[in-house]
Structure 1
Amino acid sequence: MSAADHFDYDFAMWLDSEAIFVAPGEIRNIFEGHMRNPIVWRSRMSFQDREKFLMSKAAATLGRSINSFGDQLWLLESLQWIIEKPIWNDMVSSVEMAHGGNFWDIWIENSYPFELLVYYLHIIARKMETVNSIFSNYRILETERELIRFGLDSALDSFLIDGDIKMLVSGAPDIHKWWDDRIKNGDAINNTETSYS
């Protein structure tokens, strides 16, 4: 998180350790896509004590209550995130103004919540209270509703990651139980080699 604060940049990308590229491509396209259509992905997956704790601490860091956003709000719906420096700077200033103290001290006092939870919760909050285009350009989309909208509601459970923290992810198959079950049942995927020629 200190890198987001320290370095000078316009946009940065955070990649989760489970993130993988499944096809050739250019990182530039990811950034250009974000610039054209910035989205905060949210879900209603905060139903375990750990998720509720993390979200409430992210809200507290911002000087807010999670009740303002809904107690099932969950914001870790991806394995890659784009950070915009002007939004980061606004978040740091807002936290310091709300608490009358240093951002890092406040973050530590609130149990070190994931920076991405604080960052995206800040975007949602600021989108509700300002017309500044760095926030108003964002769409807030709910993962479950989008899956239903595109006819994937029957496959919803297939997107759930198996782990302590529940995430809806359409990415790396090795993090899904159904992938392991396929292999155990003899449905191995033998030809996974890709030709880039």
Structure 2
Amino acid sequence: MEIKETKLIGAYSVQPKLFRDNRGYFFEWFSAKKFEQETGIKFTPIQFNSSKSTKGVLRGLHYQENPTSQAKLVGVTQGTIQDVIVDLRVGSPTFGMHHSEILTEQSKNQLFVPKGFGHGFLVLSETAEIFYAIDDYYSPEHEGGVMYNDPSLGIQWEMEEKDIVLSDKDTKYELLTNRTFNFQYNG
């Protein structure tokens, strides 16, 4: 497993090692021990989620406020997505910056999203199934979001805006500058 820190402090790209032979392949999806050794982050998932969406669906940019903020490891079991994270930790040197990465079924690559980050993805293939390992339970009263096309974020989505499909909830989020966050950067 190869783990590389992104330009956002505490966020990591993860590339599992695939073992292939004439029967197919095997790979280790996640090892808490290896992850902690490489990053210094103790990540203990307690909930596993999956979603399936069609081409053009954009989900996000979602987060959960404290005390139920969530770190997550995101991967794709079918299809291709553009996965985007935004640092929302007050005082972070990378506050308001984003990281975008293409996650695919073929590469099995993953993205580790720390607590205090917004997360969203855009489906680029005909359909995509996304798998999330999460370290805290969902809490509707602590959920929030930032508008996916906030100009201050400068996210270059891999699809024209006219082709993007959003939920009603995702069309109502505010811009980053209109929000206050209770996430603190603990450098």
Normalising by the residue count of structure 2, what TM-score does the alignment of the two structures yield?
Answer: 0.27
Q: Which has the larger radius of gyration?
A: 1
- The TM-score, its normalising length taken from structure 1, stands at 0.26
Give the structure with the higher percent strand.
2
